[in-house]
Amino acid sequence: MRKVYECPADKKAELKKILESEPYAEKSFSRVGYKLKDGRLVGEDEKKIYLYISAPEDFFPFATEKLKGIVEESKKEVAERIMKKIEEEESEAEVGFGSIFGE
């Protein structure tokens, strides 16, 4: 399951502190992986930071509780645009990595 959240840019430090805490816990953001995107860099609201999480469905109640008061789930249209940009970046990275090794 994939979700995109957004938070005001001035709360970025607070958000990162939560995301980076307890990296070895059974349920942690570090274990499932996440991506933070500056709104300006992805063509969205420049006053926001976007958090992309791809994780099993049972992770999201934990995420919602930990991030309460800091983020809100992005609207469907915004989430779809962010996910598409992340997929494009990952695809470009794979192509670039393959060319390094001649694949």
- Each residue of 6-62: pLDDT tens digit? 999 999 999 999 999 999 999 999 999 899 999 999 999 999 999 999 999 999 999
The whole-number pLDDT of residue 91 equals 82
Q: In 15-73, where do the E strands start and end?
A: 34-38, 48-54, 72-73
The whole-number pLDDT of residue 93 equals 64
User: Residue 103 has which token pair?
Assistant: 């694949």
Q: What band does 95 get if pLDDT is binned at 50, 70 and 90?
A: low
Which domains are seen in the chain, by residue range? 2-100 (3.30.70)
Where helices occur in 1-103 by DSSP H, the ranges are 12-20, 29-32, 60-66, 76-100
